[in-house]
Structure 1
Amino acid sequence: MISYAPLWKTMEHRGATTYTLQIMGGISSSTIRRLKAGESVSTNTLDALCKVLDCDLTDIVEYLPEQ
């Protein structure tokens, strides 16, 4: 399963909010809701997050094997 836990840590470290993602990254509020719920998002969204937060993909997502 994919976890977005690193995203929230990266945002906190960078001082970014969901508003920052919406304004600077063009990420919709529905996509932010999907991220918060741990649902799938497009690779375009992941690309935009990396650009806005100036980070790598591993700073946004992590793979957690299902048990």
Structure 2
Amino acid sequence: MISYDSLRDKMKEKGISQYALIRRWHINPAQITRLKRNESVSPHTIEMFCKILKCEVGDIMRHIPDGKA
């Protein structure tokens, strides 16, 4: 499973709210919901978040082996 739990921490660290993602960067609210639910998102979405947050992929997502969640 891919977990995006660290994404919220990175957003807080950078002072970027969900509202700002939607209004300033035009992120689709459905994409934010998918990330909050640890659902599948496209590499393009991950890249956009990395650009906005000025971070690396590993800063916002991590792999959790099956049965370890």
Indicate the residue corresponding to 1:56 in structure 2: 56
Query: Pairwise CA RMSD of aligned residues?
Result: 1.1
What is the letter of the counterpart of residue 35 of structure 2? Answer: L
Matches within 5 A, 1:1-67: 1-67=1-67
Q: How many residues align?
A: 67
2:5–2:36 CA contact under 8 A, matched in 1: no
Q: Distance in 2 between matches of 1:25 and 1:43?
A: 17
Q: Unpaired segments of 5 or more residues in structure 1?
A: none
- Higher relative helix content: 1
Deviation at 1:66, TM superposition (A): 1.0
In the TM superposition, structure 1's runs of 4+ consecutive aligned residues that sit over 6 Å from their partners are none
Q: Unpaired segments of 5 or more residues in structure 2?
A: none
TM-score (normalizing by structure 2): 0.88
Larger-gyration structure (1/2): 2
Q: Percent of aligned pairs with the same residue?
A: 39
TM-score (normalizing by structure 1): 0.90
- Worse-superposed segment, 55-64 or 12-21: 12-21
Deviation at 1:38, TM superposition (A): 1.1
